[in-house]
DNA sequence: CCTACCGATCGGTAGG
DNA sequence: CCTACCGATCGGTAGG
């Protein structure tokens, strides 16, 4: 028997569950993460797993949240010290591209996968993905505006168009790395990003 | 009772099943297409559905095949009459982008979705997706080489890099259209394609 | 192409 | 956090 855990232990278990869900979801998609499978993988009961979240949807949202947080720590936070504008943005995309090749804990890829998986299913998960993507797009747009301001990009730059095209490069990199395991993809992506940023 | 159908009727039923599977898969993913749901949707028994394919995986492969065929008919075949090289390629991507906005029967989007859904699951479905994407990439690369040959693109064009970037624009367009329902996306995509093709 | 059925697994709950 | 259990659904088969 193992009831009556402290709040700290409870939180640690919750983290373990979410970490496991992230790993499973990377391979099988978020809908493929079943409570039973998590329980088996973690050596606990189904009730013990779902008890932390209440419903499967809450578990999915918590997992997505964790991925968003991980992406934030891995990309924007890590380049926060760089010069605003083109320099910071190039480093940010560089970090993202690097993180795609790390097989473990690819949060950016996870978010993109969930975006595709839920694009036709209205609901809280889809809404949360939209919010995460919008937040990232807002970050990129702000950096681009700073770059225009600083004169690193032409004054007539179409910022939204550039956000769109930068995103395309990232999506192409993810497909090339995840699906094709193409070792040339990171370099191609970097080259495309540099050209889009006028470097 | 409705056994002893002619071969023609049998083939027609098979087509109906696949068409329904394509519709369901566009919303729920290929793994979300269950035999029971197809049966309900089509007003037939589960045994009647699965009898046409044997296993769910065979049904998935048949559905993917149908999507590939539909994409071929919608894009490369439709622009076969255009001048080889840049002109034909621009029209091909234009057709693809147009087809993304047609809510019904978006084969290109379907293939991309399945690519993401199965990128971490080795097996025949993943192999078939890889083959379909490789075939499309080969088509694009051949047109680009023709364009270089014809002098429409610089002699030092990195064809593989360009295939990568064109693919990125298509993926960005699909995300913007399917997930964000952004009405500006087709125009953005067209502009990006034109610039990549030096038009 | 149907009815009737199989064992397995799904998300979730009751009660402790 | 566990055991024991619920109704629903899964892919698939037997037999006609």
CA distances from residue A196 to A168, B79, B130, B167 in whole angstroms, order as listed: 11, 29, 28, 15
Interatomic distance B32 CA / D11 C1' (Å): 13
- Nearest nucleotide to A4 (CA to C1') is D1
Reported as a pLDDT band with limits 50, 70 and 90, residue A1 is very low
Whole-angstrom CA distances from A174 to A20, B75, B162 are: 22, 24, 16
As a whole number, mean pLDDT of residues A21-36 equals 95
Is there a contact between B29 and A28 if contact means CB atoms under 8 Å apart? Answer: no
In this prediction, residue B105 carries a pLDDT of 62
The spacing between the Cα labelled CA in B13 and the C1' in C8, in angstroms, equals 30
Environment class of A80 (CB within 10 Å of its CB; exposed 0-12, middle 13-18, buried 19+): exposed
Query: How far apart are alpha carbons A157 and A89 in whole angstroms?
Result: 15
CB atoms within 10 A of CB A96: 24
Instruction: Give residues 130 to 169 of A whose Cβ lies within 8 Å of B.
Output: 130, 133, 160-161, 164-165, 167-169
Mean pLDDT of B151-180: 97
pLDDT tens-digit map of B60-76: 999 999 999 999 999 99
Q: Which CATH architecture does the domain made up of B7-56 adopt?
A: Orthogonal Bundle (1.10)
Percent of chain B with pLDDT over 70: 96
Which residue shows structure tokens 């919750």? A14
Mutate to test the interface with A, among B133, B163, B178, B179 (most CBs of A within 10 A): B179
pLDDT tens by residue, A115-133:
999 999 999 999 999 999 9
Q: State the pLDDT confidence band at A22, using cuts at 50, 70 and 90.
A: very high
The token pair at A132 is 């995460």
Min mean pLDDT across A135-144, B50-59, B103-112, B137-146 is at B103-112
Task: Give domain limits for chain A.
Answer: 7-58, 62-196
Does the pLDDT of residue A103 top 70, yes or no?
no
Alpha-carbon gap: B3 to the closest alpha carbon of chain A (Å): 36
Structure letter (DSSP) for residue B30 = G
Give the contacts of A174 (CB within 8 A, at least 6 positions apart): A100, A108, A109, A112
Residue A3, CA: closest nucleotide via C1'?
A: D1
Residue B161's contacts (CB-CB under 8 Å, 6 or more residues apart) are: A188, A191, A192
Distance D13 C1' – B47 CA (angstroms): 9
Q: How confident is the model at residue A32 (pLDDT cuts 50, 70, 90)?
A: very high
Provide the chain B residues 12-51 that lie in CB contact (below 8 A) with chain A: 26-29, 31-32
How far apart, in whole angstroms, are the C-alpha atoms of residue B179 and residue A53?
27
C-alpha distance from residue A38 to each of A16, A43, A65, B138 (Å): 10, 8, 18, 41
Distance from the Cα of B190 to chain A's closest Cα (Å) equals 11
**How many CB atoms neighbour CB B35 within 10 A?**
19
Q: pLDDT category, B6, cuts 50, 70, 90? A: confident
Q: Are B139 and B170 in contact (CB under 8 A)?
A: no
- Number of cross-chain residue pairs from A and B with Cβ atoms under 8 Å apart: 112
Q: How far is the CA of A157 from the C1' of D13 (A)?
A: 64
List the CATH code of the domain at A7-58. 1.10.10.60
User: Phi, psi (5° rounding) for residue A52?
Assistant: -75, -15
Q: Where is average pLDDT lowest: A37-41, A102-106, A129-133, A169-173?
A: A102-106
Model confidence pLDDT, tens digit, residues A143-169: 999 999 999 999 999 999 999 999 999
Please tell me the predicted confidence (pLDDT) of residue A109: 87
Task: Round to whole Å and give the CA distance between B197 and B89.
Answer: 9
**How many residues would you count in chain B?**
199
Q: Do domains B7-56 and B62-196 have the same CATH topology?
A: no
Tokens coding B70: 């539909």
Give the percent of chain B with pLDDT over 90.
89
Q: Are A168 and B164 inside 8 Å of each other by CB?
A: no
Query: Choosing among A25, A116, A121, which should be mutated to test the B contact, i.e. which has the most B CBs within 10 A?
Result: A116
Sort residue B6 into left (φ over 0), alpha (ψ -120 to 50) or beta: beta
Position A2 confidence tier, pLDDT thresholds 50, 70, 90 = very low
Distance CA A55 to C1' C10 in A: 13
Taking the C-alpha atoms of residue B19 and residue B12, their distance in angstroms, rounded to an integer, is: 10
**Residues sharing a CB contact under 8 Å with residue B147, sequence separation 6 or more, in sequence order:** B84, B85, B86, B89, B153, B157, B197
Taking an 8 Å cut-off on Cβ atoms, the answer to whether A121 and B27 are in contact is: yes
Cα-Cα-Cα-Cα torsion A175, A180, A186, A192, nearest 10 degrees, comes to -60
Comparing alpha-carbon positions, the chain A residue that sits nearest to B178 is A119
Helix A159-178 vs helix B185-196: crossing angle, to nearest 10: 80
Dihedral (C-alpha) A66, A68, A71, A73: value to the nearest 10 degrees? -70
Residue A4 pLDDT greater than 60, yes or no: no
Interface touch B133/A179, C-beta < 8 Å: yes
Give yes or no for B198 touching A (CB within 8 A).
no
The bases of strand D with some atom under 7 A from any protein CB are 1-5, 9-16
pLDDT for B2 equals 45
Return the minimum-mean-pLDDT range out of A147-156, A177-186, B104-113.
Answer: B104-113
Distances (CA, A) of A157 to A62, A151, A199: 38, 11, 15
Check whether B1 has a pLDDT greater than 60.
Answer: no
pLDDT in tens, A59-91: 999 999 999 999 999 999 999 999 999 999 999
Tokens representing A136 are: 């990232």
Q: Which pLDDT belongs to residue A149?
A: 97
A62-196 classified as CATH 3.50.50.60: no
The structure tokens listed for B189 are 């995509």
């Amino acid at each position: 028997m193992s009831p009556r855990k402290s709040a700290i232990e409870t939180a640690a278990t919750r983290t373990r569950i979410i970490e496991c869900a992230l790993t499973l979801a990377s391979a099988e998609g978020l809908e493929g993460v079943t409570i039973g499978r998590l329980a088996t993988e973690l050596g606990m009961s189904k009730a013990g797993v779902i008890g932390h979240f209440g419903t499967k949807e809450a578990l999915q949202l918590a997992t997505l949240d964790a991925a968003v947080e991980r992406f934030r720590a891995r990309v924007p936070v890590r380049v926060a010290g760089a010069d605003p504008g083109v320099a910071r943005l190039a480093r940010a995309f560089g970090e993202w591209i690097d993180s795609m090749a790390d097989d473990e804990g690819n949060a950016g890829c996870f978010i993109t996968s969930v975006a595709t998986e839920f694009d036709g299913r209205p609901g809280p998960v889809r809404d949360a993905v939209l919010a995460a993507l919008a937040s990232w797009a807002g970050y990129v747009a702000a950096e681009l505006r700073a770059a225009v301001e600083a004169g690193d990009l032409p004054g007539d730059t179409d910022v939204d168009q550039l956000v769109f095209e930068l995103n395309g490069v990232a999506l192409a990199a993810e497909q090339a790395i995840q699906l094709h395991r193409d070792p040339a993809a990171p370099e191609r992506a970097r080259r495309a990003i540099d050209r889009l940023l006028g470097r």
